[in-house]
Structure 1
Amino acid sequence: MKVTIDGHTIDVEAGTTVLEAARAIGGPSVPPTMCYYSKLKDCGGKCRCCLVEISKGSERDPRPMPKLQPSCVTAVQDGMEVKSATSPKALDARRAVSEFLLINHPLDCPVCDQAGECDLQNLAYGNKNFKTRYKEERRTFEPEDIGPYIQLHMNRCVLCYRCVKLADQLTPERVHGVIGRGDHAQISTYISKAIDNDFSGNMIDVCPVGALTDKTFRFESRVWFNKPYNAHRDCPTCSGKVTLWMFGDKVQRVTGRKDVYHEVDEFICNDCRFHHKNAEDWVIEGPRKFEKPSVLNINNYIRPLKKVHIDADELILEGREQDEKKISMPAIPYDAVELEAIKEVKEE
């Protein structure tokens, strides 16, 4: 069946969502997401960050849908026409949703370990949410140890349910979930339980904000000071394909490899993630390319550097005080005395 998104028409299979079709097209037409995760089943529809305007329902029913639809759970119909990046209504709604997500979110980016690779940070920057109109008291929680490797900062949580879905689908017994309702809802473990299984560390990777942090990496370094390398090892539990975040020759943390949408390609076990922090334990394949523009690109050692050419007089770069005056006056030629001084310097 055919679907048109922002003027781009693409053929997709039945059952494909609007978001999946937009990702197949790529570019600015792809809506942002906070709760959807393509590697997890029945995931999405919680955050409403991916709202789109459907101007034509299908060939059979060409009427537009009266309300904006979440693209991650809306199935494509044959002949459907969608406005994503070209819809002012959808863009305004996304901006409002991101402002809503930031109501209780603390402004602790300077100390948050997720800073630099935070989906909410990127979303707020893309939607230009630089100010808040919320003046009421924010809800606050104390940090909570929910396992030997994971610390929960509920203040930063946006209730995307990713960690709950992952625990349901990847681990044998889920011992945490959402308790409470409405503005009292929060992620927590059941009484006297701790999250401790072979794949619990993947909850850190799927968390879009800094709510679930790696206790072995906390406050060790900023991600933009690290160099990411693809590496692998023979692991009996998982694929063993990881990204090593290195500072010099030291491995500071190990994560799963992520795609352009910041989703893990293959989930890895806790043994690879937490117990192999020596470079000798891995076969390093080489530097990892950055998937998309972010603060990490400041430290990009892959991008070729062009030689800088300064169009100025030769002796300006020598540092002489009399020549520095000529930097802003290219239209004023040297007088005879200056030309003689230049000649003397060149002959020395």
Structure 2
Amino acid sequence: MSDTQLFKVTIDNITVEVPAGTSILEAARKIGGDVAPPAMCFYSKLKGSGGKCRTCLVEVSKGSEKDPRPMPKLVASCRTTVMDGMEVKNITSPKVVDARAGVVEFLLLNHPLDCPICDQAGECHLQDLSYEHGKEGTRYEFQRRTFKKHDLGPYIQLHMTRCIMCFRCVYTADQLTSKREHGVLDRGDHAEIATFIEKSLDNDFIGNVIDVCPVGALTDKTFRFKNRVWFLKPLNAHRDCPKCSGKVTLWNRGDEVYRVTARKDEWGEVEEWICNECRFEKKQTSDWIIEGPREISRHSVISQGHYAGKIGTTLPTETFEAVNDGRQPHLLMDIHDVSKVNIPDVHLSAINGPSHSNNFKD
């Protein structure tokens, strides 16, 4: 019999048993669905994370069986541990819904409307948060703060204007690498993530700061402006890597690998950290052993049409023949012979920087 003490906690009228010391957020994630509060700064694999963004606020209507008094204020579920008999309201509390809308409005005060050009669009946690918990308009009338873009080494670009100061990247560099060369400079409204004396981030595992960033502040320079994620097909793949597990998600369009990322769970958290070699240097399909399509469990446009649940991928049937009594079209045209833009020998993912017309000139 296990010696671990279990506490019963009720969240949105659903009861679950969890070990003592479990946070309300982690208990809610065991239930899943809308019961789990959103989180922009908490990361279960990073010690000390959480308590920064306040998006996971909940109402504790009953403290415990021994002390049934409600907590006087909304609490951050990622930093509040459960007690036996505790009752919590998340989506069933009007106070929480109103407070969360206020938090989202605060996070968006200085955030630019970059979604049409941002590489994070389609898999951005702030985008999801604003649609689900935000308000239609803004009351902010002052000038937004802006920063210049910085190259943090050969592979990572920092767009500080989009940053919401969740500090995930700082915790990742501090706990995953041998030395941390970036952090928070200044205070208050002037606070920013930066490296000291423009120092590059060149650690073997520093690329993971891209995966933990919930917005488009830290982006992969080898993928910037190459393609939209909803046009790509995520595939599970692995290789024999001496530095990391080698288990990744490939983002392909046809046979071309546009980017490589770590595999993420349903909460958008990395399952296993990967090294820079796997992430940035292995951009050929032949470098990997393809396991099959990856099912994107997050409610994202990426999950649509990716043959989830099937073994392999199937080619679509010919539409023209079906509507034309089986007859072939009278005119067949090879787009590569006509268009000088669609050159099959030019691999967009291998272009150093954004692709444009100069890449297709003879």
Place the TM-score, normalised by the shorter chain, in its bin.
0.7 to 0.9
> 2:142 aligns to what?
136
Equivalent position SS for 1:188: strand
Structure 2: runs of 5+ lacking an equivalent:
1-6, 311-322, 325-362
User: Once the 2 structures are TM-superposed, how far is the Cα of residue 301 of structure 1 from its aligned partner?
Assistant: 3.0
User: Once the 2 structures are TM-superposed, how far is the Cα of residue 30 of structure 1 from its aligned partner?
Assistant: 0.4
Q: Is the 8 A contact 1:150 1:213 kept in 2?
A: yes
Equivalent position SS for 1:19: helix
Quick check: 124-133 or 106-115, which moved more? 124-133
- 1:289 counterpart (291, 295, 298): 295
Deviation readout 1:129-170 (Å, 9 max, x if unpaired): 332111100000111111111000000000000000001100
Deviation readout 1:19-63 (Å, 9 max, x if unpaired): 000000112110001000111111100000000000011112111
Q: Within the alignment, does 1:13 sit opposite 2:34 as a pair?
A: no
> 1:92 aligns to what?
98
- Within-5 A mapping of 1:1-348: 1-302=7-308
Equivalent position SS for 1:12: strand
Deviation readout 1:93-140 (Å, 9 max, x if unpaired): 111101100000000111100000000000000114332111100000
User: Once the 2 structures are TM-superposed, how far is the Cα of residue 192 of structure 1 from its aligned partner?
Assistant: 4.0
> 1:340 aligns to what?
none
Q: Is the 8 A contact 1:52 1:68 kept in 2?
A: yes
Quick check: 294-303 or 267-276, which moved more? 294-303
> In structure 1, how many angstroms separate the alpha carbons of the residues matched to 2:135 and 2:261?
29
> In structure 2, how many angstroms separate the alpha carbons of the residues matched to 1:141 and 1:11?
46
> 1:314 aligns to what?
none
Q: Is the 8 A contact 1:225 1:299 kept in 2?
A: no
From the superposition, tell whether residues 303 and 268 of structure 1 become closer, same or farther in structure 2 (CA, over 3 Å): closer
Q: Is the 8 A contact 2:59 2:90 kept in 1?
A: yes
Q: Is the 8 A contact 1:176 1:190 kept in 2?
A: yes
Q: Is the 8 A contact 2:268 2:298 kept in 1?
A: no
> In structure 2, how many angstroms separate the alpha carbons of the residues matched to 1:129 and 1:267?
35
> In structure 2, how many angstroms separate the alpha carbons of the residues matched to 1:141 and 1:299?
37
Deviation readout 1:249-268 (Å, 9 max, x if unpaired): 00000000000001010000
User: Once the 2 structures are TM-superposed, how far is the Cα of residue 193 of structure 1 from its aligned partner?
Assistant: 1.5
Which amino acid is the alignment partner of residue 10 of structure 1?
V
> In structure 1, how many angstroms separate the alpha carbons of the residues matched to 2:39 and 2:135?
16
> In structure 1, how many angstroms separate the alpha carbons of the residues matched to 2:39 and 2:212?
12
Q: Is the 8 A contact 2:297 2:303 kept in 1?
A: no
Question: Larger radius of gyration, structure 1 or 2?
Answer: 1
> In structure 2, how many angstroms separate the alpha carbons of the residues matched to 1:302 and 1:22?
26
Equivalent position SS for 1:265: coil
> 2:4 aligns to what?
none
Instruction: Give the percent of matched residue pairs that are identical in Structure 1 and Structure 2.
Output: 66
Structure 1: runs of 5+ lacking an equivalent:
305-316, 319-348
Equivalent position SS for 1:191: helix
Q: Is the 8 A contact 1:55 1:81 kept in 2?
A: yes
How large is the RMSD of aligned CA atoms in angstroms?
A: 1.5
> In structure 1, how many angstroms separate the alpha carbons of the residues matched to 2:291 and 2:301?
24
Q: Is the 8 A contact 1:224 1:299 kept in 2?
A: no
Equivalent position SS for 1:130: coil
